[in-house]
Amino acid sequence: MTKLIDTFGRAHRDMRVSLTDRCNLRCTYCMPHDFAAWMPSADLLTTDELITIIKVAVEEGIDQIRLTGGEPMLRPDIVEIVSRISSIDNAPKLSMTTNGLALAKLAKPLVDAGLKRINISLDTLDRDVFKKMTYRDRIDDVFAGIKAAKEAGLTPVKINTVLMRGINDGEAISLLKWALAEGLNLRFIEQMPLDAGGIWDRTQLITADEIFTTLGTEFDLTPVPDRGSAPAEEFYVNGGPATVGVIGSVTRSFCGSCDRVRLTSDGQIRNCLFSMAETDLRSILRSDISDGEKIESIRKMFHSTVAAKLPGHGINDPSFIQPNRPMSAIGG
């Protein structure tokens, strides 16, 4: 039973753990192509520090952990991190969100180390569009990564897709046909105002409703009941069993059932992607107090952070301000 319950009664069981803010792609909705404002390496949590925090979170009731970033597989000891999290008492269910570039090499070792599920981000099936959207010519590495993930047993592999107007929005139907043929679980994500370049423009947003309409011209979609705290609304395609998901973060927000907290790679906990405040656990870990006192302070910080959670992200309020940290530095 989780002890992390906020003032609105939401029970927190899921922690998104960012392992680095660095990335080997430059998805335009995430960071500018010349982005280089990385955190200093000394600010990043060491693996020992990370495991200490995760153990406390698990003791307080977190039972699902998703590793993310930046690109989590840029962390040189990623397999060791997965293995150490999997060895914790009451080990949480462990998943990862990745751009897939290193999966051809790492899928099998990661599964052997305890990874259970994977989300791979891919916005297009077209090499030129991929290059335009990521500033790198690496679509073949993503396809190889998807194949390796399937072979390693990380099924069903989920694919995350962000549609951008005039760039890849014409691919919604072909992406779903491809995903169905490949046995992949595709999910479209509405673009959120979290990019480092500040290019988000509400008037250009491809909304969940627009995605439903487009997919509806080709497929019969029936809602899958019992969404729980999942961000994606899932639909059976042509009667199922295959499904497609739509994450309407902006226009169909799911804050009322949010069960997530976030740990940044520099050791800050956040109660929301859009939070303006964060709680510094790294300074506690690097202070002179005893190990026992550190753990008790971290425990208290988890509770105070969850207690301070607002009812919703407020993107649609006129007073909304984009957080200082971009998605890549929070952990998507």
Site residues (CB under 6 A) for ligand SF4?
23, 25-27, 30-31, 69-71, 99, 121, 328
Q: Which is nearer to ligand SAM, 27 or 62 (CB)?
A: 27
Q: Report CA-CA distances (Å) from 201 to 205, 207, 256.
A: 7, 12, 25
Query: Is residue 20 at the binding interface for ligand SAM, with CB under 6 A as the rule?
Result: no
Q: Report CA-CA distances (Å) from 314 to 192, 216, 277, 308.
A: 12, 29, 14, 15
Query: Is residue 29 at the binding interface for ligand SAM, with CB under 6 A as the rule?
Result: yes
Query: Is residue 71 at the binding interface for ligand SAM, with CB under 6 A as the rule?
Result: yes
- Choose the one of ligand SAM, ligand SF4, none that binds residue 68, judging by a C-beta under 5 to 8 angstroms depending on kind: ligand SAM
- Residue 261 sits at φ, ψ, to 5 deg, of -120, 165
Q: Which is nearer to ligand SF4, 30 or 221 (CB)?
A: 30
Query: Is residue 235 at the binding interface for ligand SAM, with CB under 6 A as the rule?
Result: no
- Choose the one of ligand SF4, ligand SAM, none that binds residue 189, judging by a C-beta under 5 to 8 angstroms depending on kind: ligand SAM
Displacement of CA 138 from its chain's centroid (Å): 21
Query: Is residue 21 at the binding interface for ligand SAM, with CB under 6 A as the rule?
Result: no
Query: Is residue 302 at the binding interface for ligand SAM, with CB under 6 A as the rule?
Result: no
Q: Which of 20, 28, 52, 97 touches ligand SAM (CB under 6 A)? A: 97
Rounded to the nearest whole angstrom, what is the least distance from the CB of residue 133 to ligand SF4 in the complex? Answer: 9
Query: Is residue 121 at the binding interface for ligand SAM, with CB under 6 A as the rule?
Result: yes
Determine the interface stretch with ligand SAM among 3-11, 68-76, 128-136, 233-241 (rule: CB under 6 A). 68-76
- Choose the one of ligand SF4, ligand SAM, none that binds residue 195, judging by a C-beta under 5 to 8 angstroms depending on kind: ligand SAM
Q: Which of 54, 110, 152, 192 touches ligand SAM (CB under 6 A)? A: 192
Displacement of CA 69 from its chain's centroid (Å): 8
- Residue 86 sits at φ, ψ, to 5 deg, of -70, -15
Residue type at 249 in one-letter notation: S
CA–CA gap between residue 320 and residue 275 (Å, rounded): 11
Rounded to the nearest whole angstrom, what is the least distance from the CB of residue 72 to ligand SF4 in the complex? Answer: 9
CA–CA gap between residue 256 and residue 311 (Å, rounded): 7
Question: Quick check: 5 and 261 in contact, CB under 8 A?
Answer: no
Helices (H) and strands (E) in the chain, counts: 10, 12
Which residue has tokens 């984009």?
A: 322
Q: Of 259, 260, 269, which is closest to residue 49 (Cα–Cα)?
A: 269
